[in-house]
Structure 1
Amino acid sequence: MLAGFVLDFDGTAPALDDLRALVDTRLAHIPSLHRRLPTTRTSGSPQPRPPEVEVHVRELSVGPADGLSRVLRHDLPDGDAPPWDILLLRSDAGAPSRLCYRIHHSVQDGEGAAHTLAALFGSGQAGPAPRTGLVPGPAGFVAVGAELIRSLRPADGWAALRHPPTGLISLRHADVSLDRLRRIARLHGVTVNDVHLAALARAFHRWRGRTGDDALRSPPLPVLVPMSVRRPGEEHTPGNRLVSLRVELPGAGSSAQQCLHDIRRQTAAASRRAHRHASRIALAGLPVRLGARVALRAMNANSTPVVASGTAFGGRLDCLGHGIRAAGMFSGLLPGLLSYVSLTRYGAVARLTHVYDHALPHGADVPLLWAASLADFEGHGHGGLPRPPAGHVPRRSA
């Protein structure tokens, strides 16, 4: 299972040899890029092997038929090599204009991947902010236990999200202005992430209508929100530093404003309870194998059929003078899941990325539906599910 990012250059990409030379000078300071997968079940950590840039930094042609989806299907370096690569993506139109960083998810999570990109192509401040916060009290630990119990409850009314996976996955994205999300957040007194989740709720209601169900009768949709617990000094620590929060996206009967404030009520309560750190402490207190089983139990397709992730870069990236315009985080799909969504905030662009199994009908439509749903929140938001304004065509990528 992969984790990683697609980066869009402002213009063309650097030459392959120049990129290899840059990566080679910075490898030594990034432990995750030296970590390989264990090849046996013996105890102890695997011994790192120095990576070879000729193996790990390559070009990949992506045609119009598969677009960016090919990065999900292309093999990582095999054998005894550490499981990561950097791909200059070349389209049929000519010179590369995108870069893709991929790594095995067991070696590094998405936020760790963002820190790696900051170390390769930026400064220490370019990565996501380290996670510090409140010390959890008893209520926080009680809420973590209650959430685990709720994970046993199936998500009713969303049969189209629970088809058997085909194993064939694709990636689509849509870009909008980050300032637009911030304006909506200020208008309603919520956060940008709340706006993202509310637009996702409306997008899946509209998507449900395209599957043949009644969009106006869509029930609430529980989603799994991964949360990084990387603390200062852990930016490049190998492995996954993640917990999760179950958020129930409101049903179609809620107005736009009600939808936003219902989501805000849930996320604000999690912040007050220090849910992120209570979950980290609770999992750290369990034996490793039991902790992994508990975490996987909370991530199941029956109770939370959609993963809704996100991250924000703290500064700009630059690759040998070639500036980066936008970034999009992606991940493979957990067993049984058909849909992974991420919001990546970088520079002036907010990118909604959707990774979906082909068993999900109309999966390619979700990013555009999310972008179009933002219009619901730009007025007073008392209506139901209005149509997007005429001529509104958000930027979309294959």
Structure 2
Amino acid sequence: MRSQPGTDGHLPPTLPMGAADIAYHLATRGRPLPVAFVFAFTGRAPSLDALRARVAERAHHIPALRYGIERRRRRLVLADRVAVERHVHEAWLSDDTDGSGTGRLMLARPMTAEGRPPWQVWLVHGPDGGYTLGYRSDHTLQDGVGAAHTARALLDDHPDDGPPGHPCAWPTARGVADALRDVTASLRAPVAKPAFAMPVTGRTRVCHADTALTRLRLIGREHGGTVNDVYLAALAHAVRVWHLKETGTAHPPLPVAVPMSVRAAGEETAPGNRMVVARLLLPCDEVSPKKVLARTVAATGRMRTSRQRDAVRLMLAAAPRAFGGRIGTRLVNGAVVAGPASSVNFGDALVHQGAASRRAAVFSELAAGVRMMTTLTGQRDTACLTLVHDEALRNAGDLPDLWLAALRELERA
């Protein structure tokens, strides 16, 4: 994997795209794919001038913010300077009571053009004195964990926390076999996904659901799983109930792509995607939420003990970048999976000019025929489920509430 540019005080004038970067470039056919990290606050908002001053003070020291994308040559190019006034913006959404309007803004607004580094910071004024700070970048340049570290380094009063680095290790033989199995499955005929079989419209919606992070920890502890296991199991049960309401029939196991960070310590704000993907079948065919969780714990436990993410990491490092990029487009494609189901633990609340954010959420636009993506974002004691879905999915906006209902069933199990 590429080392962290800037650790020795030097930023190379160009960097080659990695395999995951090329995968996003191919999946979007060269168009920008926004990935956003948003932080909701209550109270008085900072001024645009104060926000720009903070960004101007820090942006030049963050490697990921210094590079633009030269798509034709598949490389990242160092910018001579960062014109902060062109990267930091302000908007007013007085009727955005649930954050969906801010989500649409972060995904729909055109990304930075004219060869500048493709990132922006937004100050969005909402109703009742609330406001949101949003950082967004092009997914070809940065993954969700990288966006978390960059947002922290750029905006936080004391940027000394964030997702832990991945400790690289050698995979087991089973990890290598499972990684190859995922690649083979992506090349076969797709499995049935009846709830996601309709043509995409290209129009997306964003919705959120909040709960206490402690709830997920306690459920996981009771059943021998992690917070991520509980999130995925509740998602599987929510899809089952949603599809049953819509069609009267049960849904078969649902393939999703689970992104996993391989961003090591020291690479926190390095440009480029440092992530791999595993294919997971959500047990939507299971009636009992308790059994759904048990099957999920078994599947993710196998990934962890076999160190499957390290198997994929080493395979991508050994393969030609273009080949790895094309495999990536197969693993995260609407014909193969319903979409990504990711999670990011942001850590302590973002504190900007003395105010602590009450919620954080990371999400991205859809691409490559994907109908839906979900993310669980943890910040201090709050977990936020974010759903981005194509409008073709009828009543998909019910899924966050059904996810919360699934958590209640797991608490009673």
Whether these two folds match at TM > 0.5 is yes
1:184 aligns to what? 219
Q: Tell me by how many angstroms 1:44 deviates.
A: 5.5
Distance 1:354 1:154 in 2: 27
Deviations along 1:89-118, one digit per CA (max 9) or x if unpaired, are 123x36551111111111111110000012
- 1:16 aligned onto 2:37: no
Distance 1:204 1:121 in 2: 36
Q: Tell me by how many angstroms 1:134 deviates.
A: 3.5
- 1:266 aligned onto 2:299: yes
> Which aligned runs of 4 or more in structure 1 are off by greater than 6 angstroms?
none
Q: What secondary structure does 1:378 align onto?
A: helix
Contact 1:5 1:102 in 2 (8 A): yes
> Superposed, which structure 2 residues align to 1:106-117 within 5 Å?
106-117=140-151
Q: Tell me by how many angstroms 1:280 deviates.
A: 0.4
Distance 1:25 1:317 in 2: 18
Deviations along 1:167-188, one digit per CA (max 9) or x if unpaired, are 1111100100111111111111
- 1:67 aligned onto 2:101: yes
2:334 aligns to what? 301
- 1:317 aligned onto 2:334: no
Q: Which moved more, 1:10-19 or 1:56-65?
A: 56-65
Distance 1:377 1:177 in 2: 14
Deviations along 1:136-162, one digit per CA (max 9) or x if unpaired, are 133221221111112235554432313
Q: Tell me by how many angstroms 1:78 deviates.
A: 2.1
- 1:88 aligned onto 2:123: yes
Distance 1:366 1:12 in 2: 32
Q: Which moved more, 1:333-342 or 1:132-141?
A: 132-141
Aligned partner of 2:306: which letter?
A: R
Q: What secondary structure does 2:202 align onto?
A: coil
Q: Which moved more, 1:100-109 or 1:124-133?
A: 124-133
Q: 1:15 to 1:236 in 2, by over 3 A?
A: same
2:138 aligns to what? 104
Q: Tell me by how many angstroms 1:358 deviates.
A: 1.0
Q: Tell me by how many angstroms 1:225 deviates.
A: 0.5
Q: Which moved more, 1:299-308 or 1:173-182?
A: 299-308
Q: 1:277 to 1:43 in 2, by over 3 A?
A: closer
Contact 1:338 1:356 in 2 (8 A): yes
Q: Tell me by how many angstroms 1:230 deviates.
A: 0.3
Q: 251, 258, 266: which is aligned to 1:218?
A: 251
Contact 1:222 1:247 in 2 (8 A): yes
Distance 1:263 1:149 in 2: 21
- Consecutive unaligned residues in structure 1, runs of 5 or more: 381-398
> Superposed, which structure 2 residues align to 1:26-175 within 5 Å?
26-38=58-70, 41-42=72-73, 45-62=76-93, 64=95, 67-68=101-102, 69-91=104-126, 93=127, 95=129, 97-122=131-156, 123-153=158-188, 156-175=191-210
- 1:357 aligned onto 2:402: no
Q: Tell me by how many angstroms 1:359 deviates.
A: 1.3
Cα RMSD of the aligned pairs, angstroms, is 1.8
Contact 2:186 2:331 in 1 (8 A): yes
Contact 2:195 2:251 in 1 (8 A): no
Distance 1:245 1:175 in 2: 26
Deviations along 1:27-61, one digit per CA (max 9) or x if unpaired, are 1221111111216x347642324222211111123
Task: Give the paired residue count.
Answer: 376
Contact 1:225 1:246 in 2 (8 A): yes
- Consecutive unaligned residues in structure 2, runs of 5 or more: 1-32
Contact 1:62 1:89 in 2 (8 A): yes
**TM-score, normalised relative to structure 1:** 0.90
Distance 1:137 1:185 in 2: 26
Q: Which moved more, 1:58-67 or 1:287-296?
A: 58-67
1:379 aligns to what? 412
Q: Tell me by how many angstroms 1:209 deviates.
A: 2.4
Q: What secondary structure does 2:77 align onto?
A: coil
- 1:345 aligned onto 2:390: no
> Superposed, which structure 2 residues align to 1:185-200 within 5 Å?
185-200=220-235
Deviations along 1:283-339, one digit per CA (max 9) or x if unpaired, are 111111111001111112222112101100232321111211110011111210110
Q: What secondary structure does 2:78 align onto?
A: coil
Q: What secondary structure does 2:330 align onto?
A: helix
